[in-house]
């Protein structure tokens, strides 16, 4: 049985699932894309971050957007 604790904690606290969105365009990045956090606290998607001038393109932190909070099962391929 999968670990349900992250889901139960989120539901019990009434907190929505954290889906990061771009502070500039409002787009929610797809799973696997990076979201960049700037010193100002804003979060930018890859597209908006790439559109910044070189001198302003400095991220404090860059995180990959995950598809799910729990680990995905990996099964062997059928032969």
12 part of a folded domain: no
The mean per-residue pLDDT over the stretch 11-36 comes to 77
Look at the pTM and tell me if it is higher than 0.75.
no
69 part of a folded domain: no
Q: Which residue has the higher pLDDT, 71 or 3?
A: 3
| Position 25 pLDDT exceeds 80 | yes
Structural domain total, the chain: 1
74 part of a folded domain: no
pLDDT of 38 reads: 92
Distances (CA, A) of 25 to 9, 42, 45, 46: 30, 11, 8, 11
pLDDT of 5 reads: 76
What is the bridge-based pairing of β-strands 43-45 and 34-37? antiparallel
**Range with the poorest average pLDDT among 6-15, 30-39, 50-59:** 6-15
- Structural domain range at position 50: 19-64
């Amino acid at each position: 049985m999968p670990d349900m604790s992250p889901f139960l904690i989120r539901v019990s606290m009434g907190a929505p699932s954290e889906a990061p969105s771009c502070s500039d365009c409002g787009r929610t990045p797809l799973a696997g894309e990076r979201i960049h956090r700037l010193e100002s606290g804003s979060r930018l998607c890859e597209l908006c971050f790439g559109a910044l001038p070189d001198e302003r393109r400095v991220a404090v932190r860059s995180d990959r957007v995950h598809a799910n909070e729990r680990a995905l099962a990996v099964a062997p391929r059928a032969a």
